[in-house]
Amino acid sequence: MTIRQSKHLSSPGSTPQQYHTRENCVNAEKPMNHIDQAANALRKGELVIFPTETVYGLGANALSAAAVRQVYSVKGRPASSPLIIHCPDLSAVRRWCGEWPESAQRLAEKFWPGPLTLVLPKKADIVDEATSGLGTVGVRVPSHPVALEFLRKAGVPVAAPSANPFTRLSPTRVEHVREVFGARVRWILDGGPSAVGIESTVISLVGPRPRLLRPGMVSLRQLEEVIGPIDLQMLAQEEPHASPGLHKAHYQPRTPVVLYQRGKEMPARGRGISLLLTNSVPGESRLMPNDPMEYARELYAVLHELDVKKFDWIAIELPPETAEWEGILDRLTKAAAPNRTDHDVR
């Protein structure tokens, strides 16, 4: 296939060649043969952005150090933050794990394919660049049909972080990745809006007791029902990059976010907008879904949309502190974290 380059898309400051065209984008009208081509390209060392049910991923062949290094440079992520390895099924996952405890088997049977990542001892074939030199690896079988087809055809484990610049909002629509990476990543697979909408729950099964590293839409309670008690990983100062999902400031739009509790004061300065769960407050506002699954599906898309509207602040009503909302509450807290880095990628 020849890649058409559309000159009019080039802009000063971006890479002169704009790779992203309708031709290398899979969508409902441009089906599976493009997945083949993207899978071949990935195997040979190119990057591919692919949809998952959580968020879009920026994928590289996890057996190639050079390919994985490109992920870090394109994303602007420190090499000390490990990536998740994506596989099409359980048997593929097991090839890359040094150990496979009973707890892993139980969780995999219950939640895969789906929004859960397991951290386990790793096999040497997964390049150290993908796991920041840790002896462990995060593994996941996503459920999005385009992701599964792509992973099956790739035939290699795919290391992929969320396809956003480091610390920024994750993408849940193909437009979000096109805007940011269209000029730099040749292969972008369009899988439509992500159905889950926030990143996977991450749990470590290494060590004496399982530890929750990042909450998500698979809740702590659901995990405990399957494997018993799980520790909560506290923010460990001594190992700041052991799990970047633990960083306080993460998942941030450029517009400052404040968390709003009903009955409390709204920010007074400038022009803002409130994302509400219940009835309105004075000023501009948007009603968000009351159902946590629907809320998660919408959240990043709404924030991406509002972020370009140049509000002075976005106030987000705090959701209930129940298990179904814990992943969302985590992302909202990080979006509102005070040590934000403002405009640029860290």
Question: Does residue number 194 form part of the binding site for Mg ion (CB under 5 A)?
Answer: no
DSSP string, 295-306: HHHHHHHHHHHH
Site for ligand TXA in 226-255 (CB under 6 A): 242-245
Task: Spell out a b/e string for 203-212, using b for 16 or more CB atoms within 10 Å of the CB, else e.
Answer: bbbbeeebbb
> Is there binding between residue 117 and ligand TXA (CB under 6 A)?
yes
Buried residues in 16-49 as b, exposed as e (16+ CB within 10 A): eebbbbeebbbeeeeeeebbebbbebbbeebbbb
Please report how close the Cβ of residue 295 comes to Mg ion at its closest, in angstroms. Answer: 19
- Contact predicate 253/304, CB 8 Å: yes
Among 157, 161, 215, 272, binds ligand TXA (CB under 6 A): 161
Q: Which of ligand TXA, Mg ion, none sits in contact with 84, Cβ below 5 to 8 A by type?
A: ligand TXA
Residue 212's region, left for phi above 0, alpha for psi from -120 to 50, else beta, is beta
Minimal distance in Å, beta carbon 267 to ligand TXA? 29
Nearest in space to 281 (alpha carbons), one of 289, 273, 292: 273
The DSSP-derived string for 246-297 is G-SS-SB-SS-EEEE-TTSPPP-SS-EEEEESSS--SSSEEEPPSSHHHHHH
Q: Which does 51 bind (CB under 5 to 8 A by kind): Mg ion, ligand TXA, none?
A: none
Question: Binding segment for ligand TXA among 133-141, 296-304, 308-316, 325-333 (CB under 6 A)?
Answer: 133-141
CB of 166 to Mg ion, least distance (A): 8
Select from 18, 24, 136, 252 the one that contacts ligand TXA (CB under 6 A).
136
Taking the least distance from each CB to Mg ion, the nearer of 103 and 162 is: 162
Give the nearer residue to ligand TXA in terms of CB position, either 275 or 296.
296
117 binds, among ligand TXA, Mg ion, none (CB under 5 to 8 A by kind): ligand TXA
Q: Are 203 and 227 in contact (CB under 8 A)?
A: no
162 binds Mg ion (CB under 5 A): yes
- What is the Cα–Cα distance from 272 to 312, expressed in whole angstroms? 5
Q: Give Cα 261 to chain centroid, integer Å.
A: 27
52 binds Mg ion (CB under 5 A): no
Between 56 and 260, name the residue whose CB sits nearer to ligand TXA: 56
Q: Which is nearer to ligand TXA, 16 or 145 (CB)?
A: 145
**Residue 131 in the binding site for ligand TXA (CB under 6 A):** yes
Tell which one of 18, 54, 61, 255 touches ligand TXA (CB under 6 A): 54
Which has the closest alpha carbon to 132: 57, 71, 212?
Answer: 71
Task: Tell which one of 48, 213, 275, 306 touches ligand TXA (CB under 6 A).
Answer: 213
Q: How far apart are CA 40 and CA 35, in angstroms?
A: 9
**Is position 180 an interface residue for ligand TXA (rule: CB under 6 A)?**
no
List, edge to edge, every strand of the sheet that includes 187-189. Answer: 25-26, 187-189, 48-50, 57-61, 158-160, 84-86, 136-140, 116-121, 201-204, 211-214, 231-232
Residues 184-203 that bind ligand TXA (CB under 6 A): 199-200, 202
Question: Does 223 interact with ligand TXA (rule: CB under 6 A)?
Answer: no
Contacts to ligand TXA by CB under 6 A:
52, 54-55, 57, 81-84, 115, 117, 119, 131, 134, 136-138, 140, 142, 160-162, 199-200, 202, 204, 213-214, 242-245
Contacts to Mg ion by CB under 5 A:
162
